[in-house]
Structure 1
Amino acid sequence: MTRISALTAADRAHWQPMWDAYLAFYREDLPAVVTESTFARLTDAEGDIHGAVAWDDAGGAVGFVHWLEHPSTWSTPGYCYLEDLFVAPDGRRGGVGKALIDHVVAWAAERGREKVYWLTAEDNATARSLYDRVAHRTGFVHYEVATASE
C-alpha cells in the first residue's frame, strides 16, 4: 500500500535521486541553485509551492508530486497546478501515480480550489495512460516565451 506524506527537509536523500531522474527524463539541466531553492520552498510549511513523497511498504521513496495554487480570472476559488509528478520505474503501474494525483486533488478540494490541472509531454505514453483514466484532456496547446530576466 502506498503511503503519501508531506515532503520534509529530512526527505532530501530520498527526493534528490528522483528529482535528478525526473529532470533527466525531460532533458533538463537546472543550475544547483534552482534545485536548492526549489527544495527549500517545497519544504517550507509557509511556502508557495508544496510537495509530497510516496513511500512503499518497505519505507522506500517511490515517487513525488509538487504543486501550487493560484487565482484565476475564470474562477473565484482559484486553481491548483500540479507541476511535477514522478514515479520511480519500479513503482510504475502499481497505483503510485494515481495515489499522488489523488493526494493533490484532496488537498485542493480541502482548500476550495475549483480544479487541479497539469501538463505532460506528448510522447510521455506511460504517464498519459494514467492521465487519460483519471482526468480529461482539455485540447489546449501549451506555448511559452522565455523572458530576458536573466
Structure 2
Amino acid sequence: MPDATAPRFLIERVDASNFEATLPLIAEYQRFYGQEPDDSGNRRFFGELLGDNPHGLQLAARQGPHVIGFTTLYWARVSTRATTVALLNDLYVRPGHRGGREAGVGTALLRAAAREAGDRGFSQLTWETAPDNRSAQALYDRFLREAPEPGAPSTWIHYSYPLPTKGEQ
C-alpha cells in the first residue's frame, strides 16, 4: 500500500537530463511577470547554470517525467556584511500544482534551496517578490516560520535602472 505522506514529486538539480523539460516553465514564469520569453536566450542563459557553476544553480520539482516547478539560486556578494548569500531569484510552480492536493511543491523547493545554500556555507537565503503577489508572500511567510532564527521580509526598496545596450550608445 503506498504511503499517503510520501511526496508526490521529487526535487533535483537541473542538469542535462531535465533541462529541456524545465525551459517551458521558465517561459511561463517570464510571462507571469509580463516578459516575452526568448527561447534561444533562455537556453543559453539558464544552460550556463548546468553542472558545477560558480554563479548559481537551478532546482526542479519533478512529478514522473514532468517538471512542475523550479527555483533559481545565484550567489550574491553583500558588501555591508562582507559575505556571500544565496539569492533565490526565481520560484515558480505550475498553477495546477499549487495548493489543494498538490500543496507543498513551493515549500519543498524553498527547503531544497535553503539546504543547497547551507551546504555551501552561505549564511543567508534572500529573495524578493512583487508587492501584489499575495500568494507568494503567504508561502514565504509560512516558510520563514521554519527558519532556525527569526526571518522577516526586508525593509529595503528595490530599484532598477535600465542601461542601453552596446548598439544603442
Measured in 1, the distance between the counterparts of 2:140 and 2:32 equals 18
Aligned-pair CA distance for 1:45: 2.4
CA RMSD across the alignment: 1.7
Q: What TM-score do you get using the length of structure 2 for normalisation?
A: 0.80
The alignment of Structure 1 onto Structure 2 pairs a total of residues equal to 149
Residue 52 of structure 2 is matched in structure 1 by 45
Residue 131 of structure 1 is matched in structure 2 by 140
Aligned-pair CA distance for 1:70: 2.2
Equivalent in 30, 36, 47 of residue 23 of structure 1 = 30
Measured in 1, the distance between the counterparts of 2:65 and 2:19 equals 15
Measured in 2, the distance between the counterparts of 1:149 and 1:44 equals 29
- The percent identity for this pair of structures is 25
Relative to 1, partners in 2 of residues 1:60 and 1:32: Cα closer, same or farther, differing over 3 Å? closer
Relative to 1, partners in 2 of residues 1:62 and 1:30: Cα closer, same or farther, differing over 3 Å? closer
Aligned-pair CA distance for 1:47: 4.8
Q: Is the radius of gyration larger for structure 1 or structure 2? A: 2
Specify the SS of the correspondent of 1:10.
Answer: coil
Specify the SS of the correspondent of 2:18.
Answer: helix
1:65-124 per-residue CA deviation (whole Å, 9 max, x = no partner) reads 111112221334411100111001121121111111111111111111111111111111
1:20-52 per-residue CA deviation (whole Å, 9 max, x = no partner) reads 111110011243442122221121323523101
Residue 61 of structure 2 is matched in structure 1 by 54
Corresponding letter in the other structure for 1:28: Q
Corresponding letter in the other structure for 1:137: P
Measured in 2, the distance between the counterparts of 1:13 and 1:80 equals 24
Equivalent in 11, 24, 28 of residue 18 of structure 2 = 11
Is contact 1:68-1:83 (8 Å) kept? yes
Larger RCO (CA within 8 A; separation ≥ 6): 1
Q: What TM-score do you get using the length of structure 1 for normalisation?
A: 0.89
Residue 117 of structure 1 is matched in structure 2 by 126
Measured in 1, the distance between the counterparts of 2:115 and 2:55 equals 18
Measured in 2, the distance between the counterparts of 1:98 and 1:121 equals 18
Residue 84 of structure 1 is matched in structure 2 by 90
Is contact 2:23-2:43 (8 Å) kept? no
Corresponding letter in the other structure for 2:153: R
